[in-house]
């Protein structure tokens, strides 16, 4: 199934003129895809018992730009989008939405945008996987499985 998913992702991106030059993503790191949106290399870190910070790259090979309007997870009572304002992992501010421009890769990383899960509903240990759902304005819901590293 994973091989089929990555084959479909590569085919969709190679067929997209907007991404013909930017189709370089790690096929083995494709975690989810829907309607031209491809999630690459999701991972997360937890540095305390009640918060998980999630990173990934979102490739938009669709016909139009799209916007993430919400995030949810059964692993947490609260989930959202945030942006580090003062350097790596410093002073995160909540944001309402996140644009994913057509033909571009949107990086969620330690220097900028990221996802945050708080008020965890279960204990998370290093190596655990949590499911989260990205709600796109046009594409709809996309579930992503994320491996979590725990740092204490």
Closest to 83 in 3D by CA, of 65, 67, 96: 96
CB neighbourhood size of 37 (10 A): 24
Mean pLDDT of 50-64: 94
Band the pLDDT of 94: cuts 50, 70, 90.
very high
The answer on pLDDT for 31 being more than 90 is no
Handedness of CA 60, 63, 66, 71 (dihedral sign): negative
What are the chain's domains?
2-150 (2.60.40.1890)
Band the pLDDT of 25: cuts 50, 70, 90.
low
Q: To which H or E segment does residue 81 belong?
A: strand 76-84
Structure confidence by residue, pLDDT tens digits, 2-14: 443 334 344 343 3
Percent of the chain clearing pLDDT 70 (strictly above): 82
- pLDDT for 11 equals 38
Under 8 Å CB-to-CB from 39, ≥6 apart: which residues?
30, 31, 32, 33, 56, 57, 58, 59, 134, 142, 144
The answer on pLDDT for 27 being more than 80 is no
Mean pLDDT of 127-133: 96
Q: Using an 8 Å Cβ cutoff, are 36 and 63 in contact?
A: yes
Under 8 Å CB-to-CB from 33, ≥6 apart: which residues?
5, 8, 9, 12, 39, 142
């Amino acid at each position: 199934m994973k091989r089929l998913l990555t084959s479909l992702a590569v085919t969709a991106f190679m067929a997209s003129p907007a991404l013909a030059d930017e189709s370089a993503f790690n096929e083995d790191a494709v975690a989810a895809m829907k309607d031209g949106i491809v999630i690459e290399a999701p991972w997360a870190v937890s540095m305390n018992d009640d918060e998980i910070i999630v990173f990934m790259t979102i490739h938009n090979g669709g016909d139009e730009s799209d916007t993430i309007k919400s995030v949810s997870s059964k692993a947490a009572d609260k989930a959202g989008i945030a942006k580090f304002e003062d350097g790596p992992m410093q002073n995160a501010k909540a944001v309402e939405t996140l644009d994913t421009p057509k033909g571009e890769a949107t990086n969620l990383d330690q220097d900028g945008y990221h996802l945050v899960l708080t008020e965890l509903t279960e204990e998370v240990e290093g190596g655990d996987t949590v499911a989260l759902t990205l709600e796109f304005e046009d594409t709809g819901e996309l579930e992503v499985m994320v491996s979590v590293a725990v740092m204490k």
